[in-house]
Amino acid sequence: MNVIKITVAALLMASLASAASFNTQAEKDRKALIAYMEKKFSDPAKNKGSFFPYSTNEELSKRFTKGIKRDAFRLGSYAYDKGGKSQYDEVMEMPPFEDNIDAGKALYEKKFANGKTFKSCFPDPAIAGEYPKFDDKKGTVVTLTLAINECLKANGEKPWKMKKGKMADLEAYFASASTEAGKKVHIVIQSEAAAQAYEAGKKAYYSQRGYLKLSCATCHVQGTGKRVRNEYMSPLLGHTTHFPVYRLKWQGLGTLERRIEGCNKDEGEKPHKPGSPWMSNVLYFMAYMSNEMPVDGPAIRK
């Protein structure tokens, strides 16, 4: 009896140990990113030489916030840009996405033709921080957008477009339910195949692309705190915590997929399709970087 117990315990521990090890590299990457961003923004004026050689002292000492810690980076550039933050706070007093959240809730509760609802796939709507997941049976990353479409198909409904409209509304409801429930980003790398998908996403994020030879990291890691066309660039850290986002430019809500497509175009690259392996792997990598940060959506951006 005792021998059996010990064997079972040993097996359990062995499987726990290997489950933990699949995210070893990802944990290193995540901690390094947090350390980089916290150091960069500990005192931007003092760090001018190492991080902001082309910024003016005036900008760094007067316009930027100092001593920013991990969770605050979910605000994107508004974490450090004082002017942007005060405009953000003003708009958030009467957020323009309230109707979208209501429409999303109605979609969540609406019956499919077969009489079931989204609840049959997602009994708890506070799941924004749980995606993307790696599905070991399929061997692919499943983003929240793909999971929603899978639920529709499983119930005999047509899948939705992945960038705005109903998709963004339902995701806004999930994000708001998660924020209200105090949920955190919780991305799991539970197998060798999942670790490979993470690595593929990371590689895509750091590779130079398009005729401009820019990588996502050029702008959202090294470039954070610098400007492009008069817009301050936000950090990779916290990029997935608050989507979908209402953009003033769009005059409406959009999913992460929609936003990234815009950045692909800015890079001089043909946009990657929402739902493609490229997009799913990149989103898996990005979401892992935001692990443990509070879910904080929907949000507003210029």
Are 189 and 198 contacting, i.e. CB atoms less than 8 angstroms apart? yes
Could you tell me how far CA 121 lies from the centroid of its own chain? 22
Is 233 one of the binding residues for ligand HEC (CB under 6 A)?
yes
Which listed residue (146, 175, 245, 289) binds ligand HEC by CB under 6 A? 245
As measured in angstroms, the least distance from the Cβ of 292 to ligand HEC is 18
149 or 224: whose CB is closer to ligand HEC? 224
Site for ligand HEC in 57-76 (CB under 6 A): 76
The yes-or-no answer on residue 263 being catalytic is yes
Is 291 one of the binding residues for ligand HEC (CB under 6 A)?
no
122 or 284: whose CB is closer to ligand HEC? 284
Question: Which residues lie closer than 8 Å to 119 by C-beta, 6 or more apart?
Answer: 108, 109
**β-sheet bridge partners, residue 288:** none
Residue nearest to ligand HEC (CB): 216
Instruction: Kindly tell me the sign of the dihedral angle through the C-alpha atoms of 239, 256, 275, 158.
Output: positive
Here's the x/- map for ligand HEC, 161-200, by CB under 6 A: it reads as: ----------------------------------------
The residue behind tokens 């990113």 is 33
Which listed residue (171, 220, 274, 290) binds ligand HEC by CB under 6 A? 220
Is 77 one of the binding residues for ligand HEC (CB under 6 A)?
yes
**Strands 299-301 vs 245-247: parallel, antiparallel or unpaired:** parallel
Burial of 277 (0-12, 13-18, 19+ CB in 10 A): middle
Paired tokens of 255: 């999913």
Which listed residue (219, 237, 289, 293) binds ligand HEC by CB under 6 A? 219
Is 33 one of the binding residues for ligand HEC (CB under 6 A)?
no
H helices of 125-165, where?
A: 144-154
Which listed residue (45, 252, 263, 277) binds ligand HEC by CB under 6 A? 263
169 or 261: whose CB is closer to ligand HEC? 261
Distances (CA, A) of 263 to 8, 194, 256: 50, 25, 11
Which listed residue (127, 214, 221, 237) binds ligand HEC by CB under 6 A? 214
As measured in angstroms, the least distance from the Cβ of 15 to ligand HEC is 34
Which listed residue (47, 65, 140, 218) binds ligand HEC by CB under 6 A? 218
Question: Which residues lie closer than 8 Å to 117 by C-beta, 6 or more apart?
Answer: 108, 109, 110, 111
Rounded to 10 degrees, the C-alpha dihedral 253/259/265/269 comes to -140
Catalytic (active-site) positions: 263
Task: Point out which residues bind ligand HEC (CB under 6 A).
Answer: 76-77, 214, 216, 218-220, 228, 231, 233-234, 239, 245, 256, 259-260, 263-264, 266-267, 282, 301
